[in-house]
């Protein structure tokens, strides 16, 4: 697994470089937008961690250019800008995920795992959150290593939640995942599915934020 890190700040670059090496990734650390563009062009990276505030070029510009020329390498944007627009624009321009500084190593490692798995294709793709493990190809789910049998809807619901583990997923998103764009027959349908999932797994596996949505914690408490 080869990660290209593009970060002009010596301290932060060093910290991330070191931490990723510690986690047994092959890491190339670049400092400029020009180098980043080159690295994206020769497609040697499995994942690019891209800082937006580079000295020579704007990171978003490098990203947009790469996407225009058909380079599909997963890119995780790191930014110290707080404007929501930057976030939205980054995703629009083809970033696969974003992290806003300051972030924890734990968070970074989780995002990297998720992105690299996605990049490796469906064949051996699986998602993990806490003690939950889901094989997307075979639709098998295990909890504490024990296989769990889920209905199609329960699986669809859990998949969305696990793919965004650690983040709140809005009701609307979950309802769409369950029923497409059809209006649900029963407004409690989502609650019912969550209820069954909790019965089959464990109550604390799905955290409710009433009025907003549901969340599967990334790590078990």
Partner 1 sequence: MKSLGLGARLTLLNIAVMVVVLIPLGVISYQRESREMNQLLDGRLAQAGRTLGNLIEHSEEMTAHAPGPQSSLATAVAPAVVVAVRRHNYEPEVGFQAYDPHGTPIAATENLADLPAPTDADLGFHDLRHDDHAWRLFTLRNRAGLLIRIGERSDNRQDITRGLVLEHSLPLLIGLPLLAVLIGLAVRHGLTPLRALTSQLDERTPGSRQPVEIAEPTPELRPLVETLNLQFERLENALERERRFNADVAHELRTPLTATMIHLESAMIASGASMAMGSALFSAQQSLQRLARRIEQILALARIEAGAAASERERVDLVALAKDVIEELAPLIVEKDISMSLATSEPGMVLAAYEAAMTAMLRNVIENALRYAPVGGKVDVDLNAGPDLVVIDVRDNGPGIPPERRAAVFDRFLRGANEPTSGFGLGLSIVKRAAELHEARVDLREPPEGTGLHVHIRLPRRS
Report how far apart, in Å, the C-alpha atoms of 20 and of each of 3, 106, 112 are: 9, 11, 10
Site stretch for partner 1 (CB under 8 A), options 63-71, 79-87, 112-120, 144-152: 79-87
Q: Which is nearer to partner 1, 136 or 194 (CB)?
A: 194
Asked if residue 80 binds partner 1 (CB under 8 A), the reply is yes
Asked if residue 208 binds partner 1 (CB under 8 A), the reply is yes
Is the CB of residue 171 less than 8 Å from the CB of residue 165?
no
Q: Is 182 exposed, middle or buried (0-12, 13-18, 19+ CB in 10 A)?
A: exposed
Asked if residue 110 binds partner 1 (CB under 8 A), the reply is no
Residue 58: phi and psi, rounded to 5, are: -75, 135
Asked if residue 22 binds partner 1 (CB under 8 A), the reply is yes
DSSP β-bridge partners for residue 170: 213
Asked if residue 207 binds partner 1 (CB under 8 A), the reply is yes
Asked if residue 14 binds partner 1 (CB under 8 A), the reply is yes
Site stretch for partner 1 (CB under 8 A), options 65-73, 115-123, 140-148, 205-213: 205-213
Q: Which is nearer to partner 1, 92 or 106 (CB)?
A: 106
Report how far apart, in Å, the C-alpha atoms of 70 and of each of 4, 64, 66, 190 are: 18, 10, 7, 39
Site stretch for partner 1 (CB under 8 A), options 55-63, 140-148, 152-160, 211-219: 211-219
Among 9, 61, 65, 128, binds partner 1 (CB under 8 A): 9
Residue 61: phi and psi, rounded to 5, are: -70, -45
- Pick from 107, 94, 97, 99: nearest CA to 62: 94
Site stretch for partner 1 (CB under 8 A), options 38-46, 139-147, 189-197, 207-215: 207-215
Q: Which is nearer to partner 1, 80 or 139 (CB)?
A: 80
Residue 191 three-state SS: helix
26-65 residues in contact with partner 1 (CB under 8 A) are 53
- Using CA atoms, how far apart are residues 23 and 43, in angstroms rounded to an integer? 22
Residues at the site binding partner 1, with contacts judged by CB under 8 A? 9, 11-12, 14-16, 18-19, 22, 53, 80-82, 101-106, 108, 166-168, 170, 204, 207-212, 215, 217, 221
């Amino acid at each position: 697994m080869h990660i290209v890190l593009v970060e002009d700040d010596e301290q932060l670059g060093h910290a991330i470089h070191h931490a990723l090496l510690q986690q047994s990734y092959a890491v190339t650390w670049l400092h400029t937008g020009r180098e980043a563009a080159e690295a994206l062009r020769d497609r040697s990276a499995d994942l690019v961690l891209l800082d937006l505030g580079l000295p020579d070029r704007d990171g978003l510009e490098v990203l947009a250019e790469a996407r225009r020329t058909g380079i599909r390498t997963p890119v995780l944007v790191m930014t110290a800008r707080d404007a929501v627009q930057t976030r939205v624009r980054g995703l629009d321009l083809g970033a696969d995920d974003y992290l806003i500084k300051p972030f924890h190593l734990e968070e970074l490692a989780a995002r990297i795992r998720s992105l690299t798995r996605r990049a490796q294709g469906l064949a051996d793709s699986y998602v993990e959150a806490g003690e939950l493990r889901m094989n997307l190809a075979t639709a098998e789910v295990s909890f504490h290593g024990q296989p769990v049998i889920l209905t199609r809807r329960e699986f669809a619901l859990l998949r969305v939640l696990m793919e965004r583990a650690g983040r709140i997923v809005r009701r609307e998103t979950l309802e769409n995942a369950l029923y497409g764009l059809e209006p649900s027959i029963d407004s409690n349908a989502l609650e019912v599915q969550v209820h069954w999932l909790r019965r089959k797994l464990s109550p604390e596996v799905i955290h409710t934020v009433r009025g907003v949505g549901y969340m599967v914690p990334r790590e078990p408490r």
